[in-house]
Structure formats: C-alpha cells, structure tokens
Amino acid sequence: MTLIEKILANHSKHDTVKPGEIIDIIIDIRAARDFGGANVVKNMRDNNLNVENPSKTFFTFDCNPTGSDQKYAVNQHICRLYARENNIKVYDIDKGIGTHILIHEGLAHSGSTAVTTDSHANILGAVGAFGQGMGDQDIAAAWANGRTWFKVPESVKITLEGKRPEGLFAKDIVLNLLREFGANSLLGYSIEIYGEEVDKLSLDERITISSMATEMGAIILMFAPNDEILKYSEEKLGRKIALVKADADAKYTKVFTLDLSKFVPLVSRPGKPHDTVPITDVKKTKIDSGFIGSCTNGRIEDMREAASVLEGRKLAPGVVLKIVPSTNEVWEQCLDEGLIDIFKDAGALVSNAGCAGCAAGQVGQNGPGEITISTGNRNFPGKQGKGEVYLASPASVAASAVAGYITTYDDIPDEAVDFNFGNHIEKLETAHKTKPSAVDKPTVIEGKVWYIKEDNIDTDMIFHNRYLAITNIEEMGQYTFDNLAGYEDFAKKAKAGDIVAVQKNFGSGSSRQQAVDCFKALGIQAILAESFGAIYERNAINAAFPIVTYNSLDAIDLEDGNTIRVDFETGKITNLKNNKEMMADKFSEVQMEIYQNGGLF
C-alpha cells in the first residue's frame, strides 16, 4: 500500500484498502478553529450530540487572535464556554496556527490522523500524518463519533532528482510544483514526494511544501519522516513512535520524476497561486506592501531567512512590511535570537502569532489598488484584501520590501525606489437578500441553467471570507458569487429552482460550509461540474445539497439559460431545449443516503 493507504487502513477495520473505497476511519485528533468552531458547537447542540473523547478534541484560535472583530470575539467566547462545559482543551489566542500546534505538541505525527476546520490541515503531511480540512458538519460528526467516512484517494509519486540549486528556497520548490501540475491536474490525489535532496529537507521546509497541496487541488502532499523529524515528534509527544511508510511495491496511479536542479526562484502572479513565473519576469514591479507569515512561511527558518536580508537595512519609503510568526514558540525564538529587533529596526510591523493575512481578522490585508508581495499560500481575488498579491519566498519578500519593487535577495539596489501612493476608493454594492425557499428531495429535477464556463472557482469567489462570521443560513444567499467577476449580481437574479453548471475544480480553497449553504439559501437545486474541490464535495454531500460530476456537456449543446433535467439515480442529463441526452456520474450509495436523510445528521 501507499503511505496514505497504510494510514487509512491502520485506522479502519480493514487490513488493506484500495483507491475508490469508502471506509470509516478513526480520527486521532479532532479540532475546530475560532470561526468554524461556533458552527461546530451549533451542530453539536442542535443535534443533541456528545463529545466522544474530550482528550482528543481541541479548539485552536488562529484566525483572529487579536480579537479585533466583534463577530470573531463572540464566536471565540461560544467556543470557550462549550470547552469548559465539555472539558475540551483550548489553544487560545496566544498560541498560534492550529495545524502547527498539533505538530509542536506531538499530537500529529507519523501515521496519525487529524481533521480540523482548516482547509490546510493537509499540512500535517509534513510529518507523515493524514490531515484533512472539513466543514463544520463533518467536524461535529467526528467529535461525536470519533470517526468519519472517507473515500480512499488514488496516490501519486513524485521523485525529485538532481542537486538543489543554491538559493532555492522551499517556497520556490512548491511554486515549481504548482507550475508543473497547475491547480487541478492532481485534483483529489494523495501525493508522496521522494528524492535524495528531499530526505534532507527540514521540518520547516516540508511544512512549506505540504501546506500548498490545497492550491494544487490535492487531498494531501506527504513526506515519510526522516530520523530527525521522527525524533522531534517523539520528544514532543514523550514516547516512541512507529514509522509508517509506503511499501516498496506500493502501486501509484501516476509516477513523475522531476529535475530539481532545473528549479528556479518563482513568484505567483496575482489571482492564481498556480500562475507562476520566474521572478525575473516581474522584477522591478513596484510594491506597496509585503507580508511574511501564514501556515506556509511563518516558521523560524522563514523568520531567519527574512532577518538575514533585513539586517542593517531599512524598508523602502512608503512600503509597509508585516511579519507574523506561525506560533508563539516561533515568536519567542525570534525574540531570543534578536530577530524581533532586526525586524523593528528595519521598520516592519511584528504581530502576535496566528494566520494573519489569509484570515480577514488579522494583519496582512491590503486595500484596493495596493500591490503586495506575500509568503502566503493563496492570492485569490479578495483573499488577502482588495489589492493584488504576488506570492514568493520570505527572502524575496524581504528583499522586495527593501528595494520598493519585486526583486531577489541577491539583487537589492543600494538606494530604494521612492514613489507616491494614489487613493483608490471602491464602493460596495448593496446585496439583495432573498429568502430561501423550501427544497424537496426528488431524485429527478428540472431547472434553468446558469452556465459559468470557468475552472477553479474557489470558495472566496463563492462566499467571501468577510462573511464567515454568519451562522444563519437564511442570511448567506445574498452574498453568493459576489466575489466572482461577472457574477456579482448573481444573488439578485438567481431564482429558486435554478441549476448551476461550471467546469473544473469548483469549490477549491477553504473548508467553509457557507460556500455550500449560500446556494441552499437561494433555492439553487444543484451544481454540475467536471470536478469539485475535495472539501467542497464532502460539504455538499453532507449538507444534502445535490452535486453532479460530468465529463463534458458538449453532447447536449448546453447554452446559458437552457432548461435541463437531471436524474440523480442514473446520472442522465437531458437538455429540454433540444432533447439531447448524456450520462454523468450518478449519486453514490453514501451520497444518496445522506441526501434522502436531509443531511449528515
């Protein structure tokens, strides 16, 4: 078996598992964050569920550790009260990013399983653990049952050959992988990475690479721990850990060999993490701000990398640099090693540990017209603010903040560029609120189609993170697609009974349940797509919201506004304008059971 198959089999009743099988797996660690945690609590209370094992259940407050948003503060307090009632440990606002804490505490280690409301829970692949981001219904079910259903994914093996070039950082490695595979060619796969240079990667470097599996569309990107990392986990946990690794004769669906020696420093251009180009292509692009942090690059090695560039230098005039360590442990290391002084002397803002720019509740957001270079994992429109965001390594971000334009650490000018800021004001349209209509649960539906011919429509385009504090489903519909260019007025025009058809990788990005529930609130009957983001697919199925996967709509000559009939039991789709038919994937037994039940609960 492959690495993920080994882990899933070890946590199920099966001796062996194969791709495509749907199994129940025991979850070792079950966590919820501050914004998703309140919804988990709501699901637990509404469904009269009890926590199966409090010692394996946690809250992690990493999205808004500053408590600067009233709705986040309310949600955090809901979670704290529930934790007191149920003897659940809270890693509160002083601790940092939850997935990193699980590694620091030894809770996530080789062969273990964990789920959280964080879509980057697959970061745990850095230590050879199975981590998965899930929606609030999934997490509540795991809290109550200690297990959840999961479809065994197909596995991909990537081998990196050749020597690692001088000055090539971990962020550059994962951006090169994104350049090679894009956002959806490995959609739904579990990736394992091997190679002589790979074995030398530190824990911090592995975390950086694993953290962007989500942006590649993968279930997880995994490393087999080396001796140093296994020893680290054992020291944190306080006991020996058995190494879990793939069998020598494991079968992989796809195998790739890439030449690491040909990898070069890259940046992701604004809007798409996979739109990567050599940094030389965008060199001297003026910037307004920089951000160093996130679950991708908030580790101590990242901080040292930035400090080595900033030491003895000042930020360019008019440029703001925000630095946020991933955990309090990293923050204290920065303090002990004098890195905080270096950052402050250079003119940077240093915040307390947390997610920062990726989450709307902390430092790192930018404004309309602002150009930012960031170490984050996502630069979807609106994700880190209303401006444009380039993604790069900490060294490149620090160098650019000193230069005043995008550059590399080895090409910083003696004198920074100086430029004036312009004022940009963007008006927010008042969204139209539509009350949801009751939706029956037929197996055959008919409705008018919104045919949106786009790939990689992510959850921030569907339901932006500025609305994440909303827990009332009836309020969600009005914000549907208001961050998707060309469809900002979708919620005003959509009618109950409509059907949405899109292309590849719909719902990529965050684990937010709201990106499903907003369609339910509008009375949308179903979404058809060539493929769905893995977390989104689970959330839709668990919410009894119909989603259907198809190969191509060419056979029925579908046009925007056509009326179609969809049969969930057979997968047949009929264009009622021309009576042309085609076959899509029918509902699986699990999907139909949850659908007819009205949801996971």
Residue 423 has pLDDT above 50, yes or no: no
Residue 425 has pLDDT above 50, yes or no: no
Which residues does 443 contact at the CB level (< 8 Å), separation at least 6?
567, 568, 569, 592
What percent of the chain is modeled with pLDDT above 70?
Answer: 95
Which residues does 15 contact at the CB level (< 8 Å), separation at least 6?
9
Strand order in the sheet with 499-501: 547-549, 526-529, 499-501, 444-451, 563-567, 572-575, 580-583
Q: Rounded to two decimals, what is the model's pTM?
A: 0.83
Element (H, E) at 57: strand 57-60
Question: pLDDT digit string (tens) for 64-121?
Answer: 777 666 777 888 999 999 999 999 999 998 899 999 999 999 999 999 999 999 889 9
Question: Which one of 3.40.1010.10, 3.50.50.60, 3.30.200.20, 3.30.499.10 gives the CATH number of domain 3-262?
Answer: 3.30.499.10
Contact 130, 8 (CB under 8 A): yes
Do the domains spanning 266-403 and 444-597 agree at the CATH topology level? Answer: no
282 vs 209: CA distance, rounded Å = 23
Strand order in the sheet with 289-292: 276-278, 266-268, 388-391, 371-374, 289-292, 320-323, 349-350
Question: pLDDT digit string (tens) for 179-196?
Answer: 999 998 999 999 999 999
Question: pLDDT digit string (tens) for 492-507?
Answer: 999 999 999 999 999 9
Q: What is the mean pLDDT of residues 211-224?
A: 93
- Tell me, what's the pLDDT at 383? 77
Residue 550 has pLDDT above 90, yes or no: yes
Length of the chain as a residue count: 601
- Tell me, what's the pLDDT at 433? 43
Residue 198 has pLDDT above 70, yes or no: yes
- Tell me, what's the pLDDT at 139? 96
Question: pLDDT digit string (tens) for 371-383?
Answer: 999 998 888 887 7
Question: pLDDT digit string (tens) for 116-132?
Answer: 998 899 999 999 999 99
Q: What is the mean pLDDT of residues 545-553?
A: 96
Structural domain boundaries in the chain: 3-262, 266-403, 444-597
Model confidence at 360, in pLDDT bands (50, 70, 90)?
low
Residue 538 has pLDDT above 90, yes or no: yes
- Tell me, what's the pLDDT at 36? 85
Longest alpha-carbon distance in the chain: 72
Which residues does 14 contact at the CB level (< 8 Å), separation at least 6?
21, 23
- Tell me, what's the pLDDT at 438? 41
Specify the pairing of strand 155-161 against strand 190-194: parallel
Q: What is the mean pLDDT of residues 403-409?
A: 95
Structure tokens at 246: 């793939």
Which residues does 450 contact at the CB level (< 8 Å), separation at least 6?
490, 494, 498, 499, 500, 501, 560
- Tell me, what's the pLDDT at 69? 65
**Which fold, 444-597?**
Aconitase; domain 4 (3.20.19)
- Tell me, what's the pLDDT at 264? 94
**Does 3.30.70.20 match the CATH number of domain 266-403?**
no
In Å, what is the CA distance from 515 to each residue of 310, 467, 486? 40, 10, 18
Residue 436 has pLDDT above 60, yes or no: no
